[in-house]
Structure 1
Amino acid sequence: MEFLSSPELASQLSALGKVLAIDLVLAGDNAVAVGLAAAALPQELRRKAILIGLAAAVVLRIVFALVTVQLLAIVGLLIAGGVLLLWVCWKMWRELQEAATHDQAEAQAELELALAIEHGKGPSPEEMGLKRKSFGAALVQILIADVTMSLDNVLAVAGAAHDHPWIMVFGLVLSIGLMGVAATYIAKLLGRYRWIGYVGLVIVLYVAIHMIWDGYRSTVVRALAVEQHNASAPAFLDVTAEEVTKSCRPEKGEKLTICLAQQAIAEP
């Protein structure tokens, strides 16, 4: 039973919990965003446009996942990913504040409208005071919403679980499943219990800050600047030998040897 108290298991469970919360919160956002993007189409075309958008979103998430895993290994891009997630946090905060200022009945009516549209139902564009769009124009808007939400989700999941590849794969597969099957239910759940959104916001904010922190320290190591950093920074910020080993993983051959040589000057 020793494995139950191992630091590795605790790290994996923590990453899994963060990934589940991120998928839950962002899946609900995706349902509402796509539903509203299809509002300017006649009812008979809404479901078709959303299904095409869903198929495209699945492909996009797979592509983004493959690319993101490779890109996060590039020096400095982990910091950039963290900064982008800070923008996601700001967007989530604004949405939560807007929802808090709405009358509960009005907010629920807006949510029900978006979800009805997402299922190809709801009032016509004319009844909502909207100008009808062509199928192609509405599809482009849906695809833009899917691209934004897919990138947000992949970055957040990769940031939360990049030390545990199997959890990252699980999180991305789950995000696709939730988006296609349970997004409507999740959106209703988030509309009823707003505190879940705030919990998700805190987790995404933590992931963003952690990515920036890890990205900075990885950049110090791979730029061969550990000695200069440790000499100028307070002792509690010193880069450790363990961090050198972790940050040098993407390097190969002679570059790996040079990178690991910094262990001798890092804190044990």
Structure 2
Amino acid sequence: MLAILSDSTMWVALFQIVIINILLSGDNAVIIALACRSLPPKEQRNAFLIGTVAIVILMTALTAFASYLMTIPYVEVAGAILLLWIGIKLLLPEEENENVSASDNFWGAVKTIVIADIVMSLDNVLGMAGAANGHMGLLFVGMVITIPLILFGSAMLMRLMERFPIIVTLGAGLLGYVAGEMAVEDPALKGLIASAHYLEIALPILGILIVVGMGKLLSARQTLAVPTEG
């Protein structure tokens, strides 16, 4: 253990992992804030903690075979489609139903945080895996160090969302953009992208339009479908 602590290359690798995770976790903070914005303050804190701890554990495991996973055709396309749906869902109004308990909403927020962050982090883990150079313990420690920073960013975003609802739409649009970028990077589409370079820009923009357009349309329909009290 002392040998590891005195190894300067280990400290450099740890620093690299932390910096990479901070730089690439802006969208993670957005999804945490979006998923938890409707929960009571106490449940927000619990969802933050449970969601981020689950992410650290799953991302550490995912990194072990991330390089292989990213070479499988259509994995990133499937992730992009899932991310589009999550973005659309986050724009829909909260269900006000007596059968939907606080517990259901809480675990629904945790599930959204974990699924969206894991999907969005497929690219991120490659950078961190390279920095860790196969040392999973180092990777785990590096991600644990960045948890408070991600949580702080999420909490700040939630306060801004309460004051400026437009940020919710912008956040969902960001998920659409990330989904488009994921699709561009899929090995199955490399040939198509190479012959049509405009798709590198078009697909992320299309992702934004799909999420915001479908989200607003379904939200409006859902609002109109709610019977007014008379």
The two structures have a TM-score, normalised by structure 1, of 0.43
If you compute each CA radius of gyration, which structure gives the higher value, 1 or 2? Answer: 1
The two structures have a TM-score, normalised by structure 2, of 0.48
